[in-house]
Amino acid sequence: MIEALIGGERDPFVLAGLARGRLRARLDDLPASLRWPVHRRSCPAVPDPLDAYDLLTGQIATLDQLVERAAGPFGAVIARRSPSPGSGRASHR
């Protein structure tokens, strides 16, 4: 929905149709809640968090690759260790 708003979509029924997850259960209520004035001057502020998220996600992917490369020589030791609860490869996410 946010990306559609940034792109200029203002139709509350179109925006409601973009709902995902638990919001889909509220499709009857969504159009009424999406009828609020969005001024063009307020939209430029919206993409900033999305751009920051994309930037940080890319940086995390780069760091993951660097860690994988640095851990390469220790692959056998890493494979033998018994994992502790919460210490999986993706525990930081």
Please indicate, yes or no, whether residues 1 and 39 belong to a single structural domain of this protein: yes
Q: Which helix (H) or strand (E) holds 77?
A: helix 75-80
In angstroms, the CA 89 to CA 79 distance is: 12
Q: For tokens 């030791």, what's the residue? A: 77
Please indicate, yes or no, whether residues 33 and 51 belong to a single structural domain of this protein: no
In angstroms, the CA 5 to CA 7 distance is: 5
DSSP single-letter state for residue 84? P
- In the chain, the number of structural domains is 2
Q: What is the pLDDT of residues 32-74, one digit of tens each?
A: 877 765 555 555 555 566 677 788 889 999 999 999 999 999 8
What domain range is 58 assigned to? 46-83
Give the pLDDT band (50/70/90) at residue 15: confident
- Whether 91 is in a domain gets the answer no
Q: What is the pLDDT of residues 27-38, one digit of tens each?
A: 888 888 777 655
Mean pLDDT, residues 5-21: 84
